[in-house]
Every structure is written in C-alpha cells, then in structure tokens.
C-alpha cells in the first residue's frame, strides 16, 4: 500500500508495541494503553542492591534465544546485546503438602555458584517417564486439542505422583489448580520441554523486559502513545473507525488492532454490526486470576538452603504455586512468588500485582484457529500472546508480525525482523 494509513492500536504490551514499531515508520499510529505504563505483563521493578539498581521482574520474566527467535531478533534490532542477557542456572524443587524436605530437587544448571544437593527418587523417575512420553507426542505431532490427562493418565506412575508432581508444574505455569491442569492442552503444557530446542538455556533481560516496551515506543517515529487512556468505544463512521478513549478523546483511524486480552476485545467489538462470530471466538478464551509478589523473605523456600532451586514449587490445598529465586541471576536473595492461594503471605514485600493468565485448553487452541480465519475482516485485527502457540513473549511478537504483515506487508521493518 503506497499511502500512509492511520492505525489505532489498543494495548501497550509487547504485542501492541511491536505492531506499532513495525508500521510506525510509514504509517501514523496511535496506541491507547489503559495503565499508566506500557509493558503489559512485562513489569520490571527497580530494586536498589548494594549501590546498584537492578530491574527485577514481577510479571513476565524468562526468555530464550532458542525458543524465542523472533523476540531475540527484535531485541538485537533495538540495540540489546549479549551483555544485556543473563543466563539462569535453572533448577527446580518441589515440596508437597506436609513435607519438611522437597520430594524433588533437580541439579542446578550451568553457572550456579552455590552448593546444592539434589533429591531425585520416585518423583524424578515420574518426571522422566513424562518427558519421554512428551517427546514421543511431539514427534508424532499429536493434535494440540488433546488434553494433558490423556498423556499423563496412562503412565505407570502412582496417582499421588501424577497429581502432586506431573500436573504440578503445568498448574503453576498456567496458574490453574491441579484438577484444571488435566484439561490443559497437552502440547501447550509440554511445549518448552520437547523438540529441537528442548531444555534450552533460559535467560532474563538485565534491563528488564519492560524496557523492551519503552524501547519500541522510543524507536517509532510516527507513533503517539497515550497511557492512562483505555479504549472504551469503537464506532464505524464513513468507512473509518472512531476510537474513543477513557479520557474522552476520539481518534479516527483506518485500521484497528486490538492487542488487549480477548474478553476486552470482545466487549469492544460487540456493538459493531456483523461481529457475532468474532465475539463468540473472543469469548471462548479462558483466563484465571492470579497474584504475584516480589519479596525478600524466603518464606516459601525449602528449609535447607542446599535445596534452593531457581524455581521452587509448593503443592498445597489442590494448587501448586511457585517461588522464583533471583539470587543466581542478580546475586541477591529477591523472590518472586505466586501468592493467590497461600495461607501465609511473605514479609518484606517490595511490590505485588494481580494478573489474569490465559489457560491454553483445547478450547483456546480451537479459538486460536478460528480467530486466524477472522483476522483483518473489516479492518479489525487481533494481536497478543493468546493468538498463537503458548502465551509467551515469542507469541506476542509473532502475533504482531502476523497483524502488521496483513496491514502493510511491505513495511521495511517487516523484512528486517523476519528476513
Ligand atoms: C504473570 C505472568 C507471567 C508471565 N511470564 C512469562 C515469562 O516468563 N515468559 C514469557 O515468555 N511469557 C510470560 N508470560 C506471558 C506474557 O503474557 C507474554 O510474554 C507477553 O508479555 C504478553 O504480551 P501481550 O502484549 O500479548 O499482552 P499484555 O502484556 O497482557 O498486554 C495487554 C495490554 O492491554 C492493556 N489493556 C487492557 N485493556 C485495555 C483497553 N481497554 N484499552 C487499552 N489498553 C488495554 C493492558 O493494560 C496491557 O498493557 C507471563 C504472563 C503473565 C500474566
């Protein structure tokens, strides 16, 4: 398209800002963000440590060059270098209700600088059986609509280990309870453990993942970002769209990109004519409420420091909640914990926030497929981590490439990011 369009984008997470960055050299973009900051689920909290301020993640945290190739390319196009990436010496501990010591402590990954003691045994045997079956399902390309229970239940493992170990990690990742974990898409639950890049080195971005959102905004010449301005109403008028934000300002645009969670997008498109099928699809993504805190108190860590892992799972009351230990990454004992279902909250809380997390169920996979077929109709586009693969930084960037490619396939930044 040889003329400049006006593109309205709702949502200032990584997806919305990547769309803006891809289009905003040639096209006028206005981005409306409900919160006072951009970044969405990427929220980095500055912590002052021994004369230095480090960015500690409260929301999205882990990235991987191997699993997230487009995300990594975007980082390098924005000037991030290898020095900005810190490798996590990943390990996992799992403590079940009533246990004083963890049932499982896996070996610390490369780069660990504190002594650790592994605890393997039956839980570890169960995990290995699970991983073998997961690799087989990946190789057979089993449909993503098959639930996790169909992978786990036939394994020759006790019911207690299935529940408290095999369903525990997916339950924590997707913030659901142990019963609900059975209903997750099996392929989504195993996606990070199988395939050519199985068990990749996981990393964190030293300046914080939120910095990527600000960098995208700063590097987009024809972008106007309005924070504290939620998109409240979308109206069709004379072949264009009028977007009204929560400050009462209206914006006339040619194309609209909804880079907001699908339930929010559904409410916004519902008043428009001809959107019944779209609303049904957007309404079929399931979310769970959760809460995270950053704290200094090792309340949820194993009692013996030699059992401390980078991710520490506590299985309790039908839930599995994680406590991530940032010590091996930042050199100081800051912890990020899921706190939605804990009986006792930690002391020395630095900050906390509520999030809504997408559950990748077979229903969500079907909704992703149907949404792909409805993209772009009438100038309405949908970006965000929910549109493809497994709700990650990579799926947010992939969704942005997809949407920007429909709006302006020849935008020069498209080739730079995907070429
Ligand atoms: C707690 C948590 C931890 C995660 N950890 C990881 C991780 O470690 N690694 C990983 O790869 N992924 C992780 N994810 C997945 C994460 O969602 C993606 O990585 C990515 O940040 C999502 O980007 P997004 O732009 O699609 O959505 P979001 O980041 O959710 O952005 C949506 C934006 O829309 C805004 N908004 C909502 N309504 C409106 C409105 N009406 N008008 C305007 N704006 C609106 C919101 O305020 C938000 O800023 C995590 C997610 C959560 C919730």
Distance of CA 303 from the midpoint of ligand 1 (Å): 33
What is the pLDDT confidence band of residue 6, given thresholds at 50, 70 and 90?
very high
Give yes or no for a contact between 386 and 368, defined as CB atoms under 8 angstroms apart: yes
Give the whole-number percent of the chain exceeding pLDDT 70.
98
Mean pLDDT of 262-287: 97
What is the pLDDT confidence band of residue 108, given thresholds at 50, 70 and 90?
confident
Residue nearest ligand 1's atom 53 by CA: 357
> Does residue 110 have a pLDDT over 90?
no
Mean pLDDT of 107-111: 79
What is the pLDDT confidence band of residue 9, given thresholds at 50, 70 and 90?
very high
Q: CATH 3.50.50.60 occupies which residues in the chain?
A: 6-82+207-283+362-418
Distance of CA 202 from the midpoint of ligand 1 (Å): 19
Q: Please write the tens of the pLDDT for every residue from 298-354.
A: 999 999 999 999 999 999 999 999 999 999 988 889 999 999 999 999 999 999 999
pLDDT of residue 331: 84
Mean pLDDT of 256-275: 98
Q: 172 CB under 6 A from ligand 1?
A: no
Mean pLDDT of 10-39: 98
Distance of CA 237 from the midpoint of ligand 1 (Å): 30
> Does residue 115 have a pLDDT over 90?
no
Q: 35 CB under 6 A from ligand 1?
A: yes
Distance of CA 150 from the midpoint of ligand 1 (Å): 30
Q: Give me the chain's average pLDDT, please.
A: 95
Q: 103 CB under 6 A from ligand 1?
A: no
pLDDT of residue 169: 97
pLDDT of residue 51: 82
Give the whole-number percent of the chain exceeding pLDDT 90.
91
What is the pLDDT confidence band of residue 120, given thresholds at 50, 70 and 90?
very high
> Does residue 28 have a pLDDT over 90?
yes
pLDDT of residue 2: 58
pLDDT of residue 347: 97
Residue nearest ligand 1's atom 12 by CA: 392
Q: 392 CB under 6 A from ligand 1?
A: yes
pLDDT of residue 1: 47
> Does residue 195 have a pLDDT over 80?
no
Distance of CA 301 from the midpoint of ligand 1 (Å): 27
Range 6-82+207-283+362-418: architecture per CATH: 3-Layer(bba) Sandwich (3.50)
> Does residue 49 have a pLDDT over 70?
yes
Distance of CA 302 from the midpoint of ligand 1 (Å): 30
Q: 16 CB under 6 A from ligand 1?
A: yes
What is the pLDDT confidence band of residue 116, given thresholds at 50, 70 and 90?
confident
Residue 258 in tokens: 């909804």
Q: 231 CB under 6 A from ligand 1?
A: yes
> Does residue 14 have a pLDDT over 60?
yes
Mean pLDDT of 370-398: 97
Q: 262 CB under 6 A from ligand 1?
A: no
pLDDT of residue 411: 95
Q: Report d(CA 244, CA 222) in Å as an integer.
A: 20
Mutate which of 72, 234, 257, 260 to test ligand 1's pocket (most atoms within 8 Å of Cβ)?
260
């Amino acid at each position: 398209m040889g003329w400049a369009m006006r593109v309205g984008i709702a949502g200032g997470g990584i997806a919305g800002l990547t769309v803006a960055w891809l289009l905003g050299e040639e096209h006028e973009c206005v981005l409306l963000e409900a919160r006072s900051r951009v970044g969405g689920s990427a929220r980095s909290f500055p912590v002052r440590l021994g004369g230095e301020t480090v960015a500690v993640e409260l929301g999205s945290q882990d990235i991987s060059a191997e699993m997230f190739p487009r995300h990594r390319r975007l980082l390098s196009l924005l000037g991030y270098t290898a020095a900005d990436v810190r490798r996590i010496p990943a390990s996992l501990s799992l403590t079940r209700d009533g246990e004083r010591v963890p049932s499982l402590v896996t070996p610390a990954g490369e780069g660990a600088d504190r002594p650790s003691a592994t605890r393997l045994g039956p839980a570890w045997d169960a995990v290995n059986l699970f991983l073998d079956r997961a690799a087989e399902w990946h190789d057979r390309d089993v449909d993503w609509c098959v639930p996790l229970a169909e992978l786990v239940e036939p394994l020759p493992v006790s019911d207690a280990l299935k529940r408290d170990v095999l369903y525990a990690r997916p339950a924590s990742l997707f913030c659901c309870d142990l019963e609900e974990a059975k209903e997750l898409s099996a392929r989504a639950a195993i996606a990070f453990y199988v395939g050519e890049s199985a068990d990749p080195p996981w990393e964190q971005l030293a300046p914080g993942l939120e910095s990527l959102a600000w960098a995208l905004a700063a590097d987009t010449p024809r972008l106007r970002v309005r924070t504290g301005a939620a998109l409240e109403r979308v109206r069709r008028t004379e072949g264009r769209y009028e977007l009204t934000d929560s400050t009462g300002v209206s914006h006339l645009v040619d194309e609209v990109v909804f880079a907001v969670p699908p339930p929010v997008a559904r409410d916004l498109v519902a008043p428009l004519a001809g959107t019944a099928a779209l609303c049904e699809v957007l309404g079929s993504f399931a979310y769970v409420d959760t809460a995270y805190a950053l704290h200094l108190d090792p309340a949820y860590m194993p009692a013996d420091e030699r059992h401390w892992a980078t991710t520490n799972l506590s299985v309790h009351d039908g839930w599995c909640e994680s406590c991530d230990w940032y010590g091996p990454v930042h050199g100081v004992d800051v912890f990020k914990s899921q706190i939605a279902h804990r009986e006792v909250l930690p002391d020395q809380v630095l900050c906390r926030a509520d999030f809504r997390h997408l559950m990748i169920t077979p229903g969500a996979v079907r909704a992703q497929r149907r949404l792909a077929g409805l993209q772009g109709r009438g100038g309405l586009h949908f970006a965000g981590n929910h549109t493809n693969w497994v709700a990650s930084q990579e799926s947010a960037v992939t969704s942005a490439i997809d949407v920007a490619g429909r709006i302006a396939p020849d935008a020069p930044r498209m080739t730079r990011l995907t070429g």
